[in-house]
Structure 1
Amino acid sequence: MSDSLLGQVALSYSPMIDRQRTVSATRLTVFPLQPGAELDAAGLLEEVAGVWPEGGGQVSLNVVSENLLTGLLQAQPTPNVMIEIPAFMAGDEAHTQAIQDLHARGSTLLIKGRPLRELPREVLPCFRYSIVDLADDRRVGETAPAAGFTRSIGYVQSGVNTLVDMEASFARGAVAVLGWPMDDAIAHSSVSKEKDPKAATPDLQVMVELIHRVDQQEPIEKLEDTLRRDPTLAFKLMRYINSPAFGLSVEISSFRHAIMMLGYSRLKRWLALLLATGSKDANLKPVMFAAVRRGMLMEELVRNLGDEEMRNELFICGVFSLLDRMFKQPFSDLLSTIPVPERVYQALADESGPYAPYCTLVRAVEGNALDAIREACDGLFTDPAEINRGLLRALAKAAQLDA
């Protein structure tokens, strides 16, 4: 995607969650900043391939531009790139041949929205999934799947706000839900922890103690003694550090080796990541997914502006930005037990300071509202192209971490 195109669009993303609470695909939404602008479909696919290469994870392109989407119909996406086609375009005979050709080339197509008229017969077999908003779903309340077009193919449910709605969607036959009822999932997890405290995170006390010791730059022997109390934590730490996202040229074989190679400052950021992704609750998987991507996005936004200290702080700020809801404690209390830099504390506990606008932006790009993204960009005084580059780099790194 050329810099020119990156400056003409706004990007946002959301997860597609399957029955196992796994992120089965990422939905990338592309908004034109100027309605009717001519946008480059080949450039979009080139940039998408840099994040989701052929054979890698799946991405669903939700393009809010008719001319760009028309260009995509003439292109040849890799098999892991799904294309969402609005019902009004699917029902337009002017696009019938292009849809058939794209399907014949092996692309996965999704129909989005309710058709206002019967679709051409030859178009129906081209769609593998439909996207059905909960508010428009006429099957709500059914106890068993009903016959009909939207039952003849798999469907993805959007507009789900509670775990009850999500469970009902899966019971009706949904293959996935779009987005995630994050606050409801966190509340449900908190109730589960009250009933069964053993279902909580890996030993939180060990993790917080280790962060304190790293923050104080204590001798390696003391850090190793602390880590031995939680072998699961040690394993996950080694897995993260040796992931492609970390970019090391040698394999880290021990905690001592990690400190020698990384230093205390870089190690602390990965301990922060472990703290935010340590829950065993399946309903919190997508929340942890969001925390990782927030941290990486906030870091990438200042890759060309800030120094290493600022990048590390913004990474921790993003990763920690959901801890208050995950642990059901206000940040003012939570951060009294976990050492964080002052600028991170200001952003999370007081919603102030130089990092607060970055928090606003990461929340905006998780949504589906162009106005919110525009406002967040204005708050950072940053060019949209630079924000889009940072978002795509962050999604690519996060995909490597998931590998």
Structure 2
Amino acid sequence: MTTSSAFIGRQPVLNRNQQLIGYELLFRPSLEAEGAGPLAALQADTQVLVNTLHNMGTSWLIGNKLAFINVGEAMLASEFLELLPARRVILDLMPEITPSNELIARIKYLHAQGFGIAMDGFSFNAPSAQLLEYAKYVKLDVQKHGTSDFQMLAAQVRSYPVIRIAEKVETHEHFHLCRELGMDGFQGYYFAKPETLSAKVIHPSFTHTLELLNLLRMDAEIKEVEAVFKRDIALSYKLLRFVNSAAAGLNTTISSFSHAVTVLGYKRLYRWLTLLLVTANEDGKTPPALQKTAITRARFMELLGGALNLPNDACESLFVIGMFSLLDVLFDMPMTSVLEHLHLSDQFKQVLLEQPDRLTPFLQLAKACEDKEMRDVPQLCRELGLSPEPFNQAHVEALAWVEELGL
């Protein structure tokens, strides 16, 4: 008996306010694949790819988020598409698709079933341009065109009743160009690890601070208190800063948020939160895409640790590392400078700086999943002894968990 496997990755798709509207789901045909492989190979493996999604369930489509799936002519013809939840799936038509009467009829049918249609890498010169009238989304590749050509293309598409998404946005210049052109949405590595989206001061959620105060008043279980810190990168960062301050009188390193809460005690934590409440500021909160990326990394790494039967304390450490892996971006400073303010163990620091350690591949794998090409995913999975099934399950469960938090 032979089996087929596929790796699943994801890249955020954001609206003009940088709020998450969905994910483009990315596929690799095998553990050994270093890249997407020839288009024909992916098309021939349609059944495996769609079955992978179907067998994992639809928890990754919680709420009002969308899944953008790249499709070629072979996948469009596949009856397995009907297994997917149509109103949560956008079919991303490849630019090489050549319309035929049969293909147009199929697209009309899928559209009638509730599937959305997107034009990927759109150009009026591409064969797929004839299908523009059926599209709700049009993706414009900011790297494929010179600035003036991209501006012209964006202006031409604007006259059509479609949502314009700039894709492959990878630099500060790309983002500002697309924003100036009034693009409706964005996609690209700039948002998965936005080098220049930063805030010198990060403020915790007013709601989360109040929730913690209420939990402490009710003398709730420590796991309930820890769960709130896991949902707010600003709160968790400020907690460790406070624990590490001279006032806290701490002479040990922190290994988890529950450890930090235990060290402080409920009385001191309540007093600190009361003061923090005064500075809680919704206008200065962490950028939503960045918040989701950090928390998704944290949960994904924690689940991977569980899948590989690591001890609970190691899994908790992986969560903290993932949560803090974007602090350099938040504060717009090198990670080495950020770590000077946190009393973390040498192991934590080594992993956050991606120096050799047994936990470092976990962070590298979480980051690799945010790269649309997913180039390093197979090799990192091999290093960890991780097969596609637990990798995909952890990835999907992490995404679903973050959606359930309602961030």
> Which of 270, 276, 288 is 1:230 aligned to?
276
1:172 and 2:166 matched = no
Residue type of the partner of 1:20? Answer: N
> Does the CA-based 8 Å contact 2:60-2:400 persist in structure 1?
yes
Distance verdict in 2 for CA 1:145–1:209, change over 3 Å: closer
> Which of 69, 79, 99 is 1:91 aligned to?
99
Residue type of the partner of 1:231? Answer: L
Q: Identify the residue that residue 390 of structure 2 maps to in structure 1.
A: 386
Classify the secondary structure of the residue corresponding to 2:371. coil
> Which of 300, 320, 326 is 1:322 aligned to?
326
Distance in 1 between residues matched to 2:320 and 2:112, nearest whole Å: 45
- Alpha-carbon deviations, 1:119-178, whole Å to 9, x = none? 586x44321111110133476464896345984422211122233422322333421111
> Does the CA-based 8 Å contact 1:211-1:338 persist in structure 2?
no
Distance in 1 between residues matched to 2:45 and 2:81, nearest whole Å: 17
1:291 and 2:337 matched = no
Query: Once the two structures are aligned, what percentage of the paired residues are identical?
Result: 18
Residue type of the partner of 2:99? Answer: G
> Which of 307, 310, 314 is 2:311 aligned to?
307
- Alpha-carbon deviations, 1:83-130, whole Å to 9, x = none? 211122353444222111001112111111336555586x44321111
Distance in 2 between residues matched to 1:318 and 1:279, nearest whole Å: 25
Q: CA RMSD in A?
A: 3.5
> Which of 147, 152, 171 is 1:162 aligned to?
171
> Which of 25, 44, 47 is 2:22 aligned to?
25
> Does the CA-based 8 Å contact 1:155-1:174 persist in structure 2?
yes
User: 384-393 or 36-45, which moves further after superposition?
Assistant: 36-45
> Which of 356, 364, 375 is 1:352 aligned to?
356
Deviation of 1:50 after TM superposition, in Å, equals: 2.1
1:47 and 2:79 matched = no
> Which of 115, 127, 134 is 2:135 aligned to?
127
Q: Identify the residue that residue 338 of structure 1 maps to in structure 2.
A: 342
Distance in 1 between residues matched to 2:396 and 2:115, nearest whole Å: 22
Distance verdict in 2 for CA 1:94–1:137, change over 3 Å: farther
TM-score of the superposed pair, with normalisation by structure 1: 0.74
Q: Identify the residue that residue 265 of structure 1 maps to in structure 2.
A: none
Deviation of 1:4 after TM superposition, in Å, equals: 5.1
Q: Identify the residue that residue 398 of structure 1 maps to in structure 2.
A: 402
Distance verdict in 2 for CA 1:148–1:316, change over 3 Å: closer
Deviation of 1:382 after TM superposition, in Å, equals: 1.1
Q: Identify the residue that residue 217 of structure 1 maps to in structure 2.
A: 263
5+ residue gaps in structure 2?
A: 34-40, 205-233, 249-258
Deviation of 1:48 after TM superposition, in Å, equals: 5.4
Residue type of the partner of 2:24? Answer: R
Q: Identify the residue that residue 240 of structure 2 maps to in structure 1.
A: 208
Deviation of 1:317 after TM superposition, in Å, equals: 0.8
Distance verdict in 2 for CA 1:232–1:300, change over 3 Å: farther
Classify the secondary structure of the residue corresponding to 1:28. strand
Residue type of the partner of 2:190? Answer: P
Classify the secondary structure of the residue corresponding to 1:59. strand
Q: Identify the residue that residue 252 of structure 2 maps to in structure 1.
A: none
Classify the secondary structure of the residue corresponding to 1:110. strand
Residues 48-197 of structure 1 mapped to structure 2, 5 A cutoff: 49-53=58-62, 55-62=63-70, 67-71=74-78, 72-73=80-81, 75=83, 77-89=85-97, 91-113=99-121, 114=123, 119=128, 123-137=131-145, 140=149, 142=151, 146-147=155-156, 151-182=160-191, 185-187=194-196, 189=198, 193=200
Distance in 2 between residues matched to 1:293 and 1:182, nearest whole Å: 13
Distance in 1 between residues matched to 2:289 and 2:94, nearest whole Å: 26
Distance in 1 between residues matched to 2:128 and 2:337, nearest whole Å: 56
